[in-house]
Amino acid sequence: MPLFLNSTDFIMLVGAVIAAIILFQPRLLRHSAWRAIGTPLASIIGSGFLVAGPVLAHVAGNWAWLAMLGLCALAYLFGAVMRFNISHIEPLIASGAPPASITWLERISSFALAFAYFISVAYYLNLLAAFALKAAGIINPELVSWISSFVIIALGAIGSLKGLHALENVEMPAVSLKLALITGLLAGLALTAILEMIEGGVMLSEHNHATGKEEISILLGLVILVQGFETSRYLGDSYPEKTRIQTMRYAQLIATVIYMAFIILITPYFKSDLPVNGGETQVIDMLAPLGSFFAPLIILTALASQLSAAVADMNGAGGLLEDASNHKISVRVGYFSTALIALIITWSANIFDIITFASKAFVLYYGLQSLTAMVALMKVKEDHSCLRFSAKMALFSLATLLAIIVLIFGKPVG
């Protein structure tokens, strides 16, 4: 057994180091295509990677991989909407005279996304606090709220007084660190799976309860696990249309591969439902017995991703509020508003409530974007064959319908 643990630790360390050497290459960090992939990829596999295992274990047991695949497919559908809007809505807006319906839908969408960012800031920083405390062996929801509140206030003050642009420079190094750590985790899990198969065949989870309406409703409230691809829509000042469309697609595909590999490899360690307290960090308890490096790698992954994600979303919320209000609301007032609402959410909901609230807020935005795509498709109907027009209209209608279903039926864990 000690040899088994040591070999797992060694593979994790080697995998993380090799990935870090590759990902921290200066040429790669400066490469425009990689930076365009890194921004949405960082959001998609950020916090979701940390809580997906325990939550999907609770919801689907041995079918967690199918639940994850369904979430990734839903995200890819909404991503297709966003990619259409990049290529069709943006030119209409750039023309200087977009249809009034699109102007209003875009403005409402911006407010909806800003509100989603308000909630996601609370989500990211509550997770950061929970994993930081877990590193000290502490599970205390009230202390999590106090720590996350302190960080929210600090970011809100920095943003309101000086702006957050200086903090944005940590984004790409944080993405590289996170991907390197995830590579190490996956390498360790893969080795464990191989050794287990050699010794005794394929393992299945002992926790495989039936899935019904309750679990499906919970699954509908987990869209935030795969959210983040929409950031490509708002990188127009840095990257051309074609680059953003391609790199959003790549980011979603890479994230799907990472998520599916992780969920499949972690499934054998699903043991029970989420505990009353500390469920958001249960992945540490699941994997810690497999090797001494699992817990530190998971905690480092959490700390490397949550702060940068919160900064990105706070910055995004401020910019969206300024644009949607025709510059009547300044970016710095947007930072203050984000911090204030994030504080209110932190003290009025637990982490799984926040996950569902954030999921619904993002899905509201995706639904509005789907409606916008339908309106735009009517405007450019002459550019499409009848078959292509019908297929795209059906696709965008399905996306709108699914958004409505999530908004109505999605519910939190517990």
Query: Which tens digits make up the pLDDT trace of 228-282?
Result: 888 888 876 778 889 999 999 999 999 999 999 999 888 887 776 666 676 777 7
Q: Tell me the helices (H) and strands (E) count for the chain, helix number first.
A: 16, 0
* Per-residue pLDDT tens digits for 114-124: 889 889 889 88
SS3 content of the chain, % helix, strand, coil (to 5): 85, 0, 15
Question: What distances in angstroms separate CA 263 from CA 1, 41, 49, 266, one per listed residue?
Answer: 24, 18, 9, 5
- Separation CA 125–CA 89 (nearest Å): 33
- The CATH topology of domain 2-409 is Amino acid/polyamine transporter I (1.20.1740)
- Confidence class for position 314, pLDDT limits 50, 70, 90: confident
Domain ranges of the chain: 2-409
**307 CB contacts (<8 Å, ≥6 apart)?**
124, 125, 128, 151, 170, 174
Mean pLDDT over residues 86-94, rounded?
86
pTM: 0.88
- Contact (Cβ atoms closer than 8 angstroms) between residue 166 and residue 352: no
